[in-house]
Amino acid sequence: MEKCALSLHLPGYLATLKRLNRAPSTIRGQKEALGLFVSFCVERGITDPASLTVGVVERYRKFLSERRARRSGAVLSASSRINLLCAVREYCRYLTKQGHMLFNPALAVELPKMGRHLPRVLSAAEAERIVRVQNRVPAIELRNRALLEVLYATGMRRSEISGLDLADVNFESGTILIREGKGGHDRVVPAGRNALVWIQKYLKESRPLILSTFTDCGALFLSTQGERGRMSTDTISHTVTSSRKRAGVEKEGSTHMFRHTAATLMLENGADVRFVQQLLGHRELGSTQRYTHVSIRKLKEVHEKTHPARFRREP
């Protein structure tokens, strides 16, 4: 990337985020998002913060609406575009406070509208088919089974399961400690009997084989790629997607679909929404309440079976 004032101020901004105890994943995301914005500006001869105008940010918003994701080739979702534009807003706010800009031009640019899409969820039968998928390599099959059982039982984010260490699993209490989840907050979640059984089996029979002669990094789930260290978020997503396809489940989705599924099935089976909020690590109850809209299907089934209108005779 060409050196310019816009990029020279980036390290200071990222250091500020670190001082504010923002999660490492958040800082990495901001760095990537702002790298894209700075590149966009440099290609158009805009290198100084003082040159940023509402028109420039508006052009960037239009640029994002036409941009396609590198992997899937699909147009960026509204949520992705909102995240990228919000990163620009926060960076411009920082530059304004530092005296490099007179005002924040990004505040005048309207964010994309988010459609009210209900989360895609699996049925209990579909989830069971996925976690039971077999692999040709026994050691990998055991690791994947333990990984999928933990995802299904806890609804963890992929970054959270990637960050798990051996010491985070407490077999006596039947819980797992999630360190620095979203927002940098720790939480303890119940693991569930099945997940604990498969973790123990993986630790005893599979993990030593995957580790082989390499130094143990202490991660719970090990990768067989590269230096055989901690499973990356991308490897976890690939593992879940591959298992879903081999199980013959056609619903598109990966790790987050298990998160949606855990929340929805618990609500359908009578769990209080605040307990689900605690499990998922949502700071705001509204983030969890979106799942109550998905669990309406259970209410619909009960309604159709029991509502008096069903027995009313038509004239």
Residues in contact with 29: Cβ distance below 8 Å, sequence separation at least 6, in sequence order: 83, 87
Rounded to 10 deg, the angle between the 255-268 and 285-294 helix axes is 80
Q: How far apart are CA 177 and CA 181, in angstroms?
A: 10
Burial class (CB within 10 angstroms; exposed 0-12, middle 13-18, buried 19+) of 227: exposed
**SS3 (DSSP) at 94:** helix
The answer to whether 150 and 176 have CB atoms below 8 angstroms apart is yes
Cβ burial, residue 307 (10 Å; 0-12/13-18/19+): exposed
- Enclosing H/E stretch for 223: none
- Enumerate the active-site residues: 157, 182, 256, 259, 282, 291
**One-letter amino acid of 293:** H
Please check whether residue 140 is in contact with residue 243, taking contact to mean a CB–CB distance below 8 angstroms.
Answer: no
Taking each continuous run of H as one helix and of E as one strand, the counts in the chain are 15, 3
Burial of 213 (0-12, 13-18, 19+ CB in 10 A): exposed
Burial of 270 (0-12, 13-18, 19+ CB in 10 A): exposed
Task: Report the SS3 class of residue 157.
Answer: coil
Would residue 8 be called left, alpha or beta, if left means φ above 0 and alpha means ψ between -120 and 50 degrees?
alpha
